[in-house]
Amino acid sequence: MITGSANRDEEHFPSGEPLDITRQNARTHMSFGYGIHYCLGFQLAKMEAQELVAQLSERFPSLRLAPGFEAEYLRNITFRVPTSVMVEWDQV
């Protein structure tokens, strides 16, 4: 299964390319797999991600993508993994 593609399937997620955690069917993504091999660590992974976003937004409230940044992705057949993410923030 090509998870990165399934999560952007325009037939399932209209305008599937942008990250939009508020879309109505956002919870129907395939990132943790499906069925009997569904990820055993998904709750931990979600807690870790929540903490990461909370910490980043608290410590770097102006954090944003660097102007002109365009992601390049690792070549694989499962997940879409950016090779780097260039960011900037305002000094305080």
Q: Which of 69, 77, 80, 61 is nearest to 17 (CA)?
A: 80
CB atoms within 10 A of CB 43: 10
Residue 83: helix, strand or coil by DSSP? Answer: coil
Q: Read off the DSSP letter of residue 73.
A: B
Residue 33 within binding range of ligand HEM, rule CB under 6 A:
yes
Selected binder of ligand HEM within 5, 31, 55, 76 (CB under 6 A): 31
Smallest gap from residue 44 Cβ to ligand HEM (A) = 5
Size of the site for ligand HEM (CB under 6 A): 9
Residue 32 within binding range of ligand HEM, rule CB under 6 A:
yes
Alpha carbon distance 58, 50 (integer Å): 12
Residue 86 within binding range of ligand HEM, rule CB under 6 A:
no
Alpha carbon distance 22, 7 (integer Å): 14
The contact mask relative to ligand HEM for 37-76 (x = CB under 6 A, - = no) is: x-xxx--xx-------------------------------
- Kindly list the residues in this chain that would bind ligand HEM in the complex (CB under 6 A): 31-33, 37, 39-41, 44-45
